Structure formats: structure tokens, C-alpha cells
Amino acid sequence: MQRRHFIKLTSLGSGALFTGGAATAFLAGCKKDYRMGLQTKPVPVTEAAFTNPLVYPAQAGATQTLTAQATTANVKGNTIPVLGYQPNCMLGPTFRVNRGDNVSVQLQNRLAEHTNIHWHGLVVPPLMDGHPDQLAEAGGNFFYQFTINQRAGMSWYHPHPHGMTGKQVFQGLAGVFIINDAEEAALNLPSGQYELPLVLQDKRITPGGIPYDPSMEEVMAGYMGESVLVNGVHAPFAEVATRYYRLRILNGSNARIYNLALSNNDDLVIIGNDGGLLKTPAPVKEILLTPGERLDVLVNFKNAAVGTTVNLISKEFSNAGDAQGKQAFQIMQFKVTTAATDGFTVPAGLSAIPDLQASAATPTRVFEISNAMEHHGVPMNNGMRMRHRINGNLYDGNRIDILVARSTQEVWVFDNSKGDEPHPMHLHGVFFQVLKRTGGRSGLLPSEKGWKDTVLVMPGEVVHIIVPFGAVTGRFVFHCHNLEHEDDGMMLQYQLT
């Protein structure tokens, strides 16, 4: 059932669901608190002067200890309690490794609850992937060990305990994982101080910390915050020269979608996405980035005079439900402080990527990802609660939903044609190619070429992907990367056999 129909059922004419007294009390509650109503509203972003220098997490090599812990961080001028993988910081260290490296990571869990790490974008054995069942209990440890056997690209890591992923990520547990290889190095892309990893996250910041208490409606739309942080910094600036820079951008938010652009209307030249380099550069004026997705873009500040500024912004966009895309806002500022002579030119070609053909794939599987309503065991507004499902099913760790033959290709179809919320669909353990989109935006975005692990399916859309599965057998999950949707049950398991 679509949420818009659910809203109609639970509005003034909802006698079938509530008695008169219950309906009056329910509607009165809606008026008092926007979170308790059934009419989704955006969480407005609060902007500020760009007075805080952008910072970057410490770098890590292939061997590292990560300690999930309660700690503190300075955010918006206040030291507040957060979760982190290192003391006095929300984001964990940025891994930089080479293809072929052996990675060894000891997770020490010093939280009062279980946790784990999912290596989002890394193709690793099932037991190392961060499956919701593979947990470090409170006070325990988990040892991750795997070999990097994939092309260069920007991935990330975050907790993945079912029902608790949204909370742990929102309160600070996440980090970047960058892989380098010889193909990428041969392009001589901007590097060192000219390569800027940017983690975009929205948070709710209070003097007491980062609260996480989603209402029913926030579970429906996703939990969003008023403060957009970049690398954990609110309203940051970075000093740049009049030359090319490489921006490695991750949307690490729980639910918020960004429509990225530059305030001077210069191009964002997309050279890579989730799975690394594209075939050829793709200049755009704006581009959607949904939770879990990454962008690798080149920006040339040569046309900006020294002493001027250029802002990274998010523009308004449409057809993403009632809570998304209604506001344009500033994210960060680039202050042009130095004149420079730059000999870099954007390569005409970037990488060789085979085009997978649907005709070579069997079978085709269809996944219906619109919303459903059910009477739930836990009372919530007289027992009526929406749930996020895939093909009518909620996540059950004891159930294998799909058997997939290893080393085969399949076409998967995500059908949101009857839905009214956006769903970024993410597959563990594999990269895929997006074949086509019908309904809604119809075509593919430039950032959806090449290899992907997350694809946005807007309301009214049907998206076809082709998935080449690996040879290693085991269990993986796939789910919506709106973390409230995921925790609500919008996740299934597939078994490679």
C-alpha cells in the first residue's frame, strides 16, 4: 500500500481505524509535533558562515585497530558526546591501500551494545562482509582479514547490526576506504593536497550530543538532521588555488539525498562512481547523490579570481517524496587564495569497462519495493504501522530469500512504480551495471554508468540492473540504504551456491 493512501486512511475520515475519541487525540498530537504526524515534512537545513577550516581524518594503512567507542567531538563550537572509531572524533581513519594488499583490521567493541563493520564497496568473502549476523558483542572483538582484489575506487565502512545501523552511523561510526591501482596512477589525476575526500552527513546537533529517536513518520521518510557536516565539520571552508582539484565525495547520511552543484555554475566533471573510474569523463551542472553512493569529480577553479569564493551546494529537486529536495542549501565553501599554473588536462579516456548485456543473463528477478502497512505487535498509533518491505517480506536472518548460482549473471528489477518514497538499493558482495530506468526520470544519470553498488529508485520508477555474481559461496544481504528503511526490515538475503 502506498503511503499517500495510508495518509488518507488515517486522516479526518479514518473512522475505520480509530474511534472518534482516538482520532481526536491522534490528530491533536499531529498538530503539536511534526514528527508525530502522518504528513511528512522536510527537516530544514540550518546554514552558517563558513568560518570553520575543513579537516581530514587521519590516514590508515592495511593493518589497523578500530575501537568502536563512546567519545566526544567538537561540533559547531561545542564538545559533545558522539560515537567514534578513534578518540575525540566521529569519523574513523581513512584507509589508503593498493590493489593486492592484505588488509587486517581488529575491531574492538567498547560500546554497550553489539556492533560490526560492513565494508561498503569492497568485494570480500561473506564472513568478512559485515553481515548483520556477524557481530562483536559488547566488550568483544572481531578480526577482519581479506585481500584487495578490485580496481581503484572510493569505498567506505560503517556498522551493520540489524535494527541498530541507523543509530550507530548517525551518532558517528563511519569512515572512508580508498583503493589505488596502476591504471588510475597512469592518469596523473590531482593528488596529495589537491585530492579532497569529502564525507557529507546531516546530523541533529544538541549540547547533549546527537539524538537518535525516530518517530514513526521518520522511519517512513528517513531520519534527517538540520546540520550538514563535511568530514565532521559544520559550515567548513577549504583554501584552494586556481587549478584542478579532485573531490572524492561520499554521501554518508542516513537518508538525505543531495543534488550537488557549484554556486558559480561551473562543471562538476564526473570521472568515477561507486565502483571506480568511468569510461570517459562526464561534465554536469548538477548531480544527485543518494545515501551510500560515491562520486569522483574534477573541479577547475582557474576561472575564479583570487579572493573570491565558490560554494558546494545542494539544489532543489523533485519527485523524491514530501521530505526530500524541497530546499536549496550551502554545504561548504572553497576560498580561492592562490594563483597557480596547472598543466593538468582531463583525460579523454579513463578506463576500459565491458558493457554487460541483458541477453546473457538468466534469470530476471523482480523486487517490488513500494511500501506496505500492517498491524504490528508493538503498539504505535493504535497498533497501525507502516513497514518497508521487499516483495512483501521483512528481513529474517534465519531465512534465505534467494538462491543464486555462483559465477552467473542475473538481471534484477527494482519496482517502485507504486511507491511514493525514494529507495537507494544496495547489494553487498558485488558490483553491477545499471541497464535502464523507466518511469519517473526515465533515463540514466552520467554517474550511473560503469560499476555501481547502490542505485536510486525514485517514486514511480522501475530500474533494471545486471549483476555478475562472484565465485565464492556464502550469504550476503541487499537492502535499501535509507538506514531507517533498512532497520525497519527492508532487507533480504541471497545465498551464492
Number of domains, the chain: 2
What is the CB neighbour count within 10 angstroms for residue 7?
A: 19
More confident residue, 379 or 435: 435
First-residue to last-residue Cα distance in the chain: 34
Residue 381's pLDDT band (cuts 50, 70, 90): very low
Does any domain span residue 157? no
Query: Three-class SS of residue 214?
Result: coil
CA atoms within 13 A on the CB side of 24: 2
Domain of residue 28 covers: 3-36
Can you spell out the DSSP letters for 116-179?
--EEET----GGGS--TTS-B-TT-EEEEEEE--S-SEEEEEE---TTTHHHHHHTT--EEEEE
Does any domain span residue 26? yes
pTM: 0.91
What is the CB neighbour count within 10 angstroms for residue 330?
A: 17
pLDDT for residue 21 is more than 50: no
Does any domain span residue 431? yes
pLDDT in tens, 319-334: 999 999 999 999 999 9
> What CATH number has the domain bearing residue 366?
2.60.40.420
pLDDT in tens, 159-203: 999 999 999 999 999 999 999 999 999 999 999 999 999 999 999
More confident residue, 4 or 122: 122
Does any domain span residue 224? no
Average pLDDT for residues 306-321, to the nearest whole number?
97
pLDDT in tens, 445-481: 999 999 999 999 999 999 999 999 999 999 999 999 9
Residue 386's pLDDT band (cuts 50, 70, 90): low
Residue 29's pLDDT band (cuts 50, 70, 90): very low
Residue 39's pLDDT is 58
Residue 40's pLDDT is 76
Residue 385's pLDDT band (cuts 50, 70, 90): low
Does any domain span residue 330? no
Does any domain span residue 440? yes
Residue 370's pLDDT is 87
Least confident of 35-39, 42-46, 144-148, 353-357: 35-39
pLDDT for residue 119 is more than 80: yes
Does any domain span residue 41? no
Question: Strands, DSSP E only, in 210-317?
Answer: 227-230, 233-234, 236-241, 244-251, 258-262, 268-273, 276-284, 286-289, 294-300, 309-314
Does any domain span residue 42? no
Can you spell out the DSSP letters for 376-416?
-SS-SSTTEEEEE-BTTB---TT---EEE-TT-EEEEEEE-
pLDDT for residue 35 is more than 50: no
pLDDT for residue 37 is more than 60: no
